[in-house]
Amino acid sequence: MASSEKLLSCVFFSDVLCSFRKSARFYVMDRCPECSHYKRFEQQMDEEERKTMEEFDEIRRTGVHP
């Protein structure tokens, strides 16, 4: 990599630099699903969805938002 090239952030985590991104545009590359940062992102999204569904179930069951 030339010294004038700048590393860009991961499309999923702004605090992670990605040596494969060549453009600031948002797009998922073919290699992203194999990356540990992508896998961490998926796990976090799955956990968020699980929590949301639990809240919906609680609202349906009790009629009250937790």
The reply to whether 45 falls in a domain is yes
Which tens digit of pLDDT belongs to each residue from 2-18?
Answer: 445 789 999 999 999 99
Domain assignment of residue 46, given as a range: 30-66
Which tens digit of pLDDT belongs to each residue from 30-58?
Answer: 999 999 999 999 999 999 999 999 999 99
The reply to whether 14 falls in a domain is no
- Beta carbons of 37 and 16 less than 8 angstroms apart: yes
- Beta carbons of 43 and 25 less than 8 angstroms apart: no
In whole angstroms, give the CA distance from residue 7 to residue 53: 37
In whole angstroms, give the CA distance from residue 59 to residue 43: 24
The reply to whether 3 falls in a domain is no
Q: What are 65's two structure tokens?
A: 């938002």
